[in-house]
């Protein structure tokens, strides 16, 4: 039996298998509103056979977007734009749908990646003034962010909570809070980007304070058993930065507050990072967190081989495996993995006739 294709629960959320589709920015929204692209993109992934589909990083405020073309969930218009996309998914698929709520902080106000991805200064078309824990830019040649005061932090905290309320109204099954990849909550966590001298900077306890306040604010507006997870960077890959020991301390604090799962990625905070990129290079980070906390842990990062994904879950290194670019390349990865591992997977009835001759029992009855 394949461990990868066994069910798992997180809070009130039940997933038929441990294959998670990670949030992947599409840079195709209009004023924060989803477009037809998102219906096409998320629709095909909803038919993949994965256990969970996560909507891309969704900004809780306009200035929290990475680019001007990011999806948002901060007003009635951005909420309404998600309705037809989610309605189409639910008409044809029973895949659970999560959303990643995010604020980019000093890494906001950039151009689309296929246009170079450079920061757009305030005052220029599609640019705005960024904010951060401290007034240090991501790169020396970029416009410096404005250091947040307590009132600004409170507004962002409340924006996360309001986006969570909207997520509930939309019927989304789970919420992930983005505290990784060098975005705002990660910026508060890392001593490389947080140079504050108040109660939100300095010690590890202080640097964790604002991310934990955001988590608590989101938890306060959802039902007790509603799954709220967090995505973290297990290390900055820079000497003197955020590391796995601090990650474990944060994970333990989150677990005590009712976190449903933790998704362990890495990097993204500092351009000096030295990442030893290789298949599964972040799995040891997930393994270390899993050994320290009693909640589901998700591993991610260049996991593309079927046997590799199976071994990560089967050996207990992580409870789930997340796919990002790999599932963009192969949107039927879960089908192909199930066929390789000799197990069954759900497929839409419209696709049952494509079952390969060599895998006549691949698709479960629907």
Q: What is the pLDDT of residues 141-151, one digit of tens each?
A: 999 999 999 99
Nearest Cα to 326, choosing from 345, 342, 304, 341?
Answer: 304
With respect to residue 213, please indicate whether it lies within any of the assigned structural domains: yes
Q: Work out whether the CA dihedral 202, 205, 211, 214 comes out positive or negative.
A: negative
With respect to residue 72, please indicate whether it lies within any of the assigned structural domains: yes
For the chain, percent of residues with pLDDT exceeding 90: 98
Q: What CATH number has the domain bearing residue 148?
A: 3.20.20.70
The pLDDT mean for the chain works out to: 97
Per the structure, how many domains does the chain have?
1
Confidence of residue 364 (pLDDT cuts 50, 70, 90): confident
Query: What per-residue confidence (pLDDT) applies to 289?
Result: 98
Q: 288-336, pLDDT tens digit by residue?
A: 999 999 999 999 999 999 999 999 999 999 999 999 999 999 999 999 9
Does the structure show a pLDDT above 60 at 66? yes
| CA 25 to each of CA 33, 213, 269: distance values in angstroms, whole numbers, following the listed order | 13, 25, 17
Pairing mode of beta strands 8-10, 13-15: antiparallel
With respect to residue 217, please indicate whether it lies within any of the assigned structural domains: yes
Q: 41-52, pLDDT tens digit by residue?
A: 999 999 999 999
Nearest Cα to 229, choosing from 319, 150, 311, 302?
Answer: 319
With respect to residue 39, please indicate whether it lies within any of the assigned structural domains: yes
Does the structure show a pLDDT above 60 at 209? yes
With respect to residue 275, please indicate whether it lies within any of the assigned structural domains: yes
Owning domain of residue 167: 8-351
Query: What per-residue confidence (pLDDT) applies to 366?
Result: 54
- The rounded distance, in Å, linking the Cα atoms of 245 and 285 is 10
With respect to residue 2, please indicate whether it lies within any of the assigned structural domains: no
Write down the residue that tokens 């209009």 correspond to.
30
Of all helices (H) and strands (E), which one includes residue 154? helix 150-169
pTM of the full structure: 0.96
With respect to residue 294, please indicate whether it lies within any of the assigned structural domains: yes
**Average pLDDT for 204-225:** 98
Query: What per-residue confidence (pLDDT) applies to 1?
Result: 87
Q: 107-135, pLDDT tens digit by residue?
A: 999 999 999 999 999 999 999 999 999 99
Give the catalytic positions in this structure.
183
Q: At what angle do helices 204-220 and 244-256 cross, to 10 degrees?
A: 40
- The rounded distance, in Å, linking the Cα atoms of 112 and 115 is 5
**Average pLDDT for 156-164:** 98
With respect to residue 361, please indicate whether it lies within any of the assigned structural domains: no
**Average pLDDT for 100-113:** 98
Does the structure show a pLDDT above 80 at 365? no
């Amino acid at each position: 039996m394949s461990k990868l294709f066994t069910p798992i629960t997180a809070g009130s959320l039940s997933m038929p298998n441990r294959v998670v589709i990670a949030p992947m920015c599409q840079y195709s929204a209009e004023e924060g509103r989803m477009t037809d692209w998102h219906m096409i993109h998320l629709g095909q992934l909803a038919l993949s056979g994965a256990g969970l589909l996560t909507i891309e990083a969704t900004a809780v405020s306009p200035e929290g977007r990475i680019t001007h073309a990011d999806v948002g969930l901060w007003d009635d218009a951005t909420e309404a734009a998600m309705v037809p996309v989610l309605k189409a998914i639910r008409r044809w698929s029973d895949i659970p749908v999560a959303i990643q709520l995010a604020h980019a902080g000093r890494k906001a106000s950039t151009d689309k990646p296929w246009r170079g991805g450079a920061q757009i200064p305030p005052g220029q078309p599609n640019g705005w003034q960024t904010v951060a824990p401290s007034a240090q830019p991501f790169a020396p040649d970029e416009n410096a962010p404005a250091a947040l005061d307590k009132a600004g932090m409170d507004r962002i905290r409340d924006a996360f909570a309001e986006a969570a309320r909207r997520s509930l109204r939309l019927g989304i099954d789970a919420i992930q809070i983005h505290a990784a990849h060098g975005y705002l909550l990660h910026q508060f966590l890392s001593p490389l980007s947080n140079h504050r001298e108040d109660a939100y900077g300095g010690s590890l306890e202080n640097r964790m304070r604002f991310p934990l306040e955001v988590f608590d604010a989101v938890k306060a507006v959802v039902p007790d058993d509603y799954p709220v997870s967090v995505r973290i960077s297990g290390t900055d890959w820079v000497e003197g930065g955020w590391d796995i020991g601090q990650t474990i301390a944060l994970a333990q604090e989150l677990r005590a507050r009712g976190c449903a799962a933790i998704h362990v990625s890495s990097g993204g905070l500092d351009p000096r990072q030295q990442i030893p990129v290789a298949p599964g290079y972040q799995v040891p980070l997930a393994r270390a967190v899993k050994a320290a906390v009693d909640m589901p842990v998700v591993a991610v990062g260049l996991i593309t081989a079927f046997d590799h994904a199976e071994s990560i879950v089967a050996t207990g290194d992580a409870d789930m495996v997340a796919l990002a670019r790999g599932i963009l390349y192969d949107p039927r990865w879960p089908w192909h993995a199930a066929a390789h591992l000799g197990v069954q997977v759900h497929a839409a009835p419209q696709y049952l006739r494509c079952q390969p001759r060599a895998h006549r029992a691949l698709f479960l009855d629907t």
